[in-house]
Amino acid sequence: MIEEVAVKKEKNIPKDGDSFDIIIIGGGPAGMSAALCASRSKLKLLLIEKTLPGGEAATAYRIYNYIGFPNGILGTELSDKMETQLKDYDVFQSCETIYDISSASTTEKLVYTDLGNTYKAKAIIIATGLEPKALETEFERQFLGRGISYYAQSDWELYQGKDVAVIGGGNCACYAAEYLADIANKLYLVHRSDSLKAVNTLQDKVFNNPQIDVIWNTEITDVFGIDHVEKMKLEHIMTGQHTWVDVHGVFIYAGRKPPQDIINLEVEIDEDGYIITDEYMRTNIAGIYAAGDIRSKQIRQIATAVSDGMIAAINAIKDFTRHHGK
Terminal Cα-to-Cα distance of the chain (whole angstroms): 37
3-state secondary structure of 167: strand
- For the chain, the residue count is 326
Query: pLDDT over 70 for what percent of the chain?
Result: 93
Phi, psi at 18, each rounded to 5°: -65, 150
DSSP string for 255-276: -EE------S----B-TTSPBP
State residue 2's pLDDT score: 40
CA–CA separation, 47 vs 93, rounded Å?
5
Q: At what angle do helices 29-39 and 302-324 cross, to 10 degrees?
A: 40
Over the stretch 113-151, which tens digit does the pLDDT of each residue have?
A: 999 999 999 999 999 988 889 999 999 999 999 999 998
The string over 288-310, giving b where at least 16 C-beta atoms fall within 10 Å of a residue's C-beta and e elsewhere, is bbbbbbbbbbeebebebbbbbbb
- Residues 193-224: tens digit of each pLDDT: 999 999 999 999 999 999 999 999 999 999 99
What's the mean pLDDT in 84-97? Answer: 90
pLDDT in tens, 274-305: 999 999 999 999 999 999 999 999 998 899 99
C-alpha angle 166-171-172 in degrees, rounded to nearest 5: 50
Alpha-carbon gap, residue 52 to 29, rounded angstroms: 12
pLDDT tops 80 at residue 30? yes
Residue 245 CA to chain centroid, in angstroms?
30
pLDDT, one tens digit per residue, over 248-272 is: 999 999 988 888 766 567 889 999 9
